[in-house]
Amino acid sequence: MDICKEIQKSLFDLQDLKYRDFTAKLTPNINPETIIGVRMPLLRALAKEYENNRNIDKFLSALPHKYFEENNLHSYLLCNVKDYDKLIKYLEDFLPYIDNWATCDILSPKVFAKHKQELKSEIIRYINSNKTYTVRFGIKTAMSNFLDDDFDKSLLCKIAAIKSDEYYINMMIAWYFATALAKQWEYVTEFITDYRLPVWVHNKTIQKAVESRRITNRQKEFLRTFKIKSK
């Protein structure tokens, strides 16, 4: 059997109709008819099963996929690619076809941790894209890789400069800055105190930071004083 048909069959064998309906509510911009209904732990296990299949490249190159879960499986498979250059090529092919937050946010390649220097230029390229979920992926990748020991303030500035009407981009910017406040408070507070973020993103960042357990009560009170009240 062709590997793409084999994977589709495997996905339908794991179908959970109640979970399909639940997923459809979480991803309202996705055509419900493209959702099979497979729980994430089962998808991760399926990716593990297929990652060393000699024909998996045929699935990874069979774009666009028909089903939501095929895209999610694709993301899980890319998370475990060990060759950085090969991964970047896979991402180049796949990112333009990502059409929802869930598929995007699954995508956290482990090999990035060993290639921080090269990764910065890729992140900048991603956040300058005209594709919503490529931009979201770039911001998420910066959040996962450059807010700890490899902290890079220049990425804060580049992400703060993003201007978008896309909800899923703006929400990720807010998530990024709320996480940055928790990890790099002394460098990030100026973006709030100087009102360097768009109003909606500014307020959402404060909201998410205040909801975080990683922010102290004193810090939360400080942040609340900078919330912009709607007119």
Do 96 and 150 belong to one domain?
A: no
Give the model's pLDDT for residue 231. 62
Do 71 and 156 belong to one domain?
A: no
- Residue-wise pLDDT tens digits, 179-206: 999 999 999 999 999 999 999 999 999 9
Do 156 and 198 belong to one domain?
A: yes
Per-position DSSP letters for 63-112, written without gaps between them: -S-SSHHHHHHHHHHHHT---HHHHHHHHHHHGGG--SHHHHHH---GGG
Per-position DSSP letters for 111-147, written without gaps between them: GGGG-HHHHHHHHHHHHT-SSHHHHHHHHHHHHHHSS
Domain boundary among 64, 82, 114: 114
Average of per-residue pLDDT across 39-47: 97
* Percentage, residues of the chain above pLDDT 70: 99
- Residue-wise pLDDT tens digits, 68-119: 999 999 999 999 999 999 999 999 999 999 999 999 999 999 999 999 999 9
User: Tokens 């580049």 map to which residue?
Assistant: 158
Do 187 and 90 belong to one domain?
A: no
Domain boundary among 114, 142, 177: 114
Among candidates 119, 24, 7, which has minimal Cα distance to 74?
7
Which structural domain range is residue 62 located in?
1-114
Residue pair 206/217 in contact by the 8 Å Cβ criterion: no
Identity at 146, one-letter amino acid code: F
Q: pTM to 2 decimals? A: 0.95
> Taking the CA of residue 23 as centre, how many other CA atoms within 13 Å lie in the half-sphere pointing to its CB?
25
Do 122 and 60 belong to one domain?
A: no
Residue pair 55/63 in contact by the 8 Å Cβ criterion: no
Number of domains present in the structure of the chain: 2
Domain boundary among 85, 114, 143: 114
